[in-house]
Amino acid sequence: MAQKFQNYIAGVWADSSSGQTFENRNPANWDEILGLFPLSTIEDVDRAAIAAREAFKSWKLIPAPARGEICRKAGEIMVSRKEEIAAIMTREMGKPLSETRGDVQEGIDTAFYCASEGRRMFGYNTPSELQNKMNLSFRIPIGVCGLITPWNFPMAIPTWNIFPGLVAGNTFVFKPAEDTPHTANVLVEILIEAGLPKGVLNIVHGAGEVVGAAITEHSLIRAVSFTGSTKTGQIVAQTCGKLTKHVCLEMGGKNAQIVMPDADMELALNGVLWGAFGTTGQRCTATSRLILHQDIHDKFIEMLLERVQKLKIGNGSNEGIEVGPIINKGQRDNIERYVALGKKEGAVCITGGERAEDGDLKNGWFYKPTIFINVLPKMTIANEEIFGPVLSVIKCTSLENAIEITNGVIYGLSSSIYTKDINAAFLAVRDIEAGITYINAPTIGAEAHMPFGGVKATGNGHREGGWAVFDFYTEWKSVYIDYSGHLQRAQIDI
Ligand code: ADP
Residue 250 a catalytic site member: yes
304/300 Cα distance (integer angstroms): 6
Question: In this predicted structure, what is the pLDDT of residue 494?
Answer: 77
Residue 482 CA to ligand 1 centre (angstroms): 49
Question: In this predicted structure, what is the pLDDT of residue 172?
Answer: 99
Low-confidence ranges of the chain (pLDDT < 50): none
The 3 state secondary structure assigned to 33-45 is EEEEEECCCHHHH
Radius of gyration of the chain (CA): 24
Question: In this predicted structure, what is the pLDDT of residue 213?
Answer: 98
Residue nearest to ligand 1 atom 16, measured at CA: 208
Task: Spell out the residues 6+ positions from residue 248 whose beta carbon is closer than 8 angstroms to its own.
Answer: 223, 224, 225, 226, 459, 460, 462, 464, 472
Query: With a 6 A CB cut-off, is 234 part of the ligand 1 pocket?
Result: no
Query: With a 6 A CB cut-off, is 188 part of the ligand 1 pocket?
Result: no
Atom of ligand 1 nearest to the CA of 150: 10
Q: Over pLDDT 90: what percentage of the chain?
A: 99
The conformational region for residue 254 under phi > 0 = left, psi -120 to 50 = alpha, else beta, is beta
The SS3 of residue 153 is: coil
Residue nearest to ligand 1 atom 23, measured at CA: 209
350/305 Cα distance (integer angstroms): 8
Atom of ligand 1 nearest to the CA of 151: 3
The SS3 of residue 470 is: helix
Q: Which of 419, 405, 172, 173 is nearest to 295 (CA)?
A: 419
Question: In this predicted structure, what is the pLDDT of residue 59?
Answer: 98
341/37 Cα distance (integer angstroms): 36
